[in-house]
Amino acid sequence: MNVKPYFPPSLVSLSFEESNEQLLSLGSFSLPLSPPADESSSSCNLQSAARCLRELRLRKMMGSSSNWEFLQSQTELETLHIDCCDDLKELPDNIRNLTSLRALRVTGCQNLTMLPEWLGELRSLQFLFVFMTPMIDSLPQSTKHLTSHTSLQICVTP
C-alpha cells in the first residue's frame, strides 16, 4: 500500500532520511480537499502546499537524482542539505531552479563526481559547503559568477 504524505502549507522545514528517491517525485504528495478557514488568505495556500519550505534535508536517499522532481517546485527554499546519498553521482538538475537558495551543503556523498557548471546560476547562494566527497577535485568555472557568495568550505577527505 502506498500512502501519499500531506504537508501543511505552514511547513517550513522538512527532512527525509533513508527514503527512496520516488518519494521526491511530484506525484508523491497529496493536498486536502478544502483549506482551513484561517489559511485561505495565506500566501502559501494549499495550491502551493510544501512550496513554502525554507529548509530541506535529504539524508541517505536511495537511488539516482533523476526523480527529484519535488525540488523544482521549491521556489522559496533557502537551505538544502544533501547528506550521505551514496547513489548520487551528480547533483539533481532541478536545484538550478532554486532561485532563493542561500545555502547548499553536500556531505558524505562518496560517488558524487563533480559539481555542475550551472552552480554559478544560483545568484542567491551565499554558503557552499562540500565535505567528505572524495570524487570532487575541482570547482566549476561558473562559480566565479556567484556574486552573493560569502563562504566556501570544501574538504574532500574525511
**What are the strands, taking DSSP E only, across 29-143?**
55-59, 79-83, 103-107, 127-131
Give the model confidence (pLDDT) of 68-87 as tens digits: 777 887 889 999 999 999 88
- Taking only the tens place, the pLDDT of each residue in 44-55 is 443 344 567 899
Q: Can you list the domains of the chain with their CATH numbers?
A: 13-27+48-155 (3.80.10.10)
Rounded CA gap, 54 and 15, in Å?
Answer: 11
pLDDT in tens, 7-32: 777 888 988 888 765 566 655 554 44
What pTM did the predictor assign? 0.78
